[in-house]
Amino acid sequence: MVKGKQYWLLKTEPGEWSWEDQAANGGVTKWDGVKNKQAQKHLKSMKLGDLCFFYHSGASARRLVGVVSVVKEWYSEGIDKNSEVVVDVKAVGEMRRQVDLKDMKQDGELKGFVMFRQPRLSVMPVPEEVWKRICELGNGFEGDGIGKDGGDD
């Protein structure tokens, strides 16, 4: 049984769905389009209030840009067993400093992070110690309660 908050990483191509797209319209959207079975399993493991890094992938981006929270646990977008699995997420805030993939790979405390071992996986768990370290590298995020933005997270 999982207790407490879990942490995740969600990847998206900025040309398909960017942080700006996520932040618009109240910041809430369904996270869909996940075809990989392992990534779908991760979506099904998400719980209300879990936090997710919002990661821009692709040749020109490859960086963490923000944080979203899970506001609706997984549901199916169809009627058969092969239907798409989705969750709803809401923008929490931008990283105070975007964290590039190269910076993460060079950080010894992040050695062994699943993102480096399975770079094509679009949804993955983030261990709490890795979450904290990445937040340090990015000087936290808006709404984390520790910065200038006045959040009370």
> Which string of DSSP letters, residue by residue, matches 81-149?
TTPPEEEEEEEEEEEEEEEEHHHHHH-GGGTT-HHHHSTT-SEEE--HHHHHHHHHHTT-BTTSSSSTT
Q: Are 78 and 40 in contact (CB under 8 A)?
A: no
The two tokens of residue 144 are 């984390």
CA distance 31 to 101: 22
Higher-pLDDT residue of 15, 153? 15
Of 53, 50, 12, which Cα lies nearest the Cα of 33?
Answer: 12
Question: Which residue carries 């770079």 as its tokens?
Answer: 119
Candidates 5, 9, 121, 24; CA nearest to 64 is 9
pTM of the model: 0.90
7-138: CATH number: 3.10.590.10
Residue 153: pLDDT band by 50, 70, 90 thresholds? very low
| C-alpha to C-alpha distance for 109 and 104, rounded to whole angstroms | 9
Q: Which residues contact 38 (CB under 8 A, 6 or more apart)?
A: 121
The two three-digit tokens of residue 84, written as one number: 């798409």
pLDDT (average), residues 97-116? 95
Q: What is the per-residue pLDDT across 74-96, written as a single tens digit (0 to 9) for each? A: 998 777 667 789 999 999 999 99
Q: What is the pLDDT of residues 119-128, one digit of tens each?
A: 999 999 999 9
| pLDDT score of 145 | 85
Interval 21-67: pLDDT, tens:
999 878 999 999 999 999 999 999 999 999 999 999 988 889 999 99
So where are the chain's domains?
7-138
